[in-house]
Amino acid sequence: MTNTSNSLSFSLSRVSKMFSGSQFDATTAFSGGGFTSSQPSTLNDSSPAPSNSRETPGLVPVTVKQISEASQSGDEKSNFVINGVDLNNVTLVGMMFEKVERNTDVSFVLDDGTGRIKCRRWINEAFDTKEMEAVMNDMYVRVYGHLKSFQGVKQLVAFSVRHVH
Amino acid sequence: MDISNPAALVNAELLHFYVGSRVRVVMQVVRSDGVVIGKSTDEKQLVVKGSPPPAPHTTYVEVYGAEIWTNFGDAIDMDSYNKLCQLANGEFKHLFL
């Protein structure tokens, strides 16, 4: 777990510097080190979005509690809004439970201490199967995915699930 | 999605706020015979009633609600974790609970 601790301490020092003092730094700090290649403090700087002229953050670290509080912006778009910011792609760290493997997909529940969210990983190719075989119940994983609402229930469509060391 | 049972991130000092509800604590294992004695990230002693997993465990362990034990390795930054507990229960509580 040293990697997580290192990125945690890095994030914490950023929070204490408080160069923006807003919630989004906290979000970065508490998601197991939001030092992914996408910009952690994206939501304060104007990050260039290559395809749209709108400023949409690339990847946002969140907690399940934040997702549960997110509202949807409009019926057709089905974009989720957290703290006034549109978000699509999110990353979470949590413990995996109830992993169920099927032919076309693998579903599991992710528990990050603030809540539990159902996740689903579609199996399209061998790589997907391999990645999901490497993770098991009661294991801490980092999930990258897309928020979706299904019959009123928020779910996560994951495109990457990896064990946290 | 279920947020009815959040587990707070605590150290020994914050633990007494959450008596009766679920918490998760990372601690350094000092002794384990029947009852596990550990040292929390803020240098205080913790007693955990419950059984650690039979597999050999590392120096640092996370206990989640006294049922799930996760090995955390032999070298973690206790200071960072301690600050995280304080922040998670203070300023940024709304993100967690």
B1 in a domain, yes or no?
Answer: no
A49 in a domain, yes or no?
Answer: no
Task: Indicate if A24 and A90 belong to the same structural domain.
Answer: no
Among B68, B74, B79, B80, the strongest candidate for a mutation testing the A interface, having the largest count of A CBs within 10 A, is B80
B3 in a domain, yes or no?
Answer: no
Q: What is the mean pLDDT of residues A55-69?
A: 79
B93 in a domain, yes or no?
Answer: no
Task: Indicate if A25 and A72 belong to the same structural domain.
Answer: no
Give the domain CATH number at B21.
Answer: 2.40.50.140
Question: How far is CA A139 from its chain centroid?
Answer: 16
- CA distances to B1, B42, B43 from A122, rounded to whole Å, are 19, 43, 45
For chain A, say whether B1 makes contact (Cβ under 8 Å): yes
Task: Indicate if A80 and A114 belong to the same structural domain.
Answer: yes
B96 in a domain, yes or no?
Answer: no
Task: Indicate if A74 and A151 belong to the same structural domain.
Answer: yes
**Closest residue of chain A to B72, computed from CA coordinates:** A1
Q: What is the mean pLDDT of residues A25-52?
A: 41
**In sequence order, what are the beta bridge partners of B90?**
none
Global pTM reads 0.66
Task: Indicate if A99 and A158 belong to the same structural domain.
Answer: yes
Task: Indicate if A11 and A79 belong to the same structural domain.
Answer: no
The residue behind tokens 């969140």 is A62
Distance between A105 CA and the closest CA of chain B, angstroms: 19
- The two beta strands, A89-101 and A60-61, are parallel
A50 in a domain, yes or no?
Answer: no
Q: What is the mean pLDDT of residues A112-137?
A: 88
Structural domains in chain A (count): 2
Checking if the pLDDT of B80 tops 60, the result is: yes
- The two beta strands, B60-64 and B23-33, are antiparallel
pLDDT tens, A65-106? 888 887 776 555 567 777 777 777 899 999 999 999 988 999
Give pLDDT, residue A52: 47
Residues of B in contact with A3 (CB under 8 A): none
Give pLDDT, residue A56: 65
A53 in a domain, yes or no?
Answer: no
Residues of B in contact with A114 (CB under 8 A): 3, 6, 95-97
Complex prediction ipTM: 0.71
- pLDDT category at A44 given cuts 50, 70, 90 is very low
- pLDDT category at A157 given cuts 50, 70, 90 is very high
B76 in a domain, yes or no?
Answer: yes
What is the rounded distance in angstroms from the CA atom of residue A120 to the CA atom of residue A85?
24
Distance between B33 CA and the closest CA of chain A, angstroms: 24
B25 in a domain, yes or no?
Answer: yes
What is the rounded distance in angstroms from the CA atom of residue A70 to the CA atom of residue A80?
6
CB B15 within 8 A of CB B47: no
**Who contacts A157 (Cβ-Cβ below 8 Å, separation ≥6)?**
A119, A120, A121, A122, A145, A146, A147, A148
Q: Taking Cα atoms as reference points, which of B73, B12, B7, B82 lies closest to residue A116?
A: B7
Structural domains in chain B (count): 1
Distance between B60 CA and the closest CA of chain A, angstroms: 10
For chain B, say whether A114 makes contact (Cβ under 8 Å): yes
B73 in a domain, yes or no?
Answer: yes
B90 in a domain, yes or no?
Answer: no
Task: Indicate if A155 and A124 belong to the same structural domain.
Answer: yes
Task: Indicate if A63 and A144 belong to the same structural domain.
Answer: yes
Give pLDDT, residue A88: 75
Task: Indicate if A36 and A72 belong to the same structural domain.
Answer: no
Give pLDDT, residue A75: 55
What token pair was written down for A18?
């408080």
Range of the domain at A72: 59-163
Show which of residues 56-75 on chain B sit within 8 Å of chain A, judged by CB atoms.
60, 64, 68, 70, 72-73, 75
Checking if the pLDDT of A35 tops 50, the result is: no
Give pLDDT, residue A50: 45
A123 in a domain, yes or no?
Answer: yes
Range of the domain at B26: 8-85
pLDDT tens, B28-77? 887 766 677 778 888 887 777 766 665 556 777 788 776 777 777 777 88
φ and ψ at residue A30, rounded to 5 degrees: -100, 15
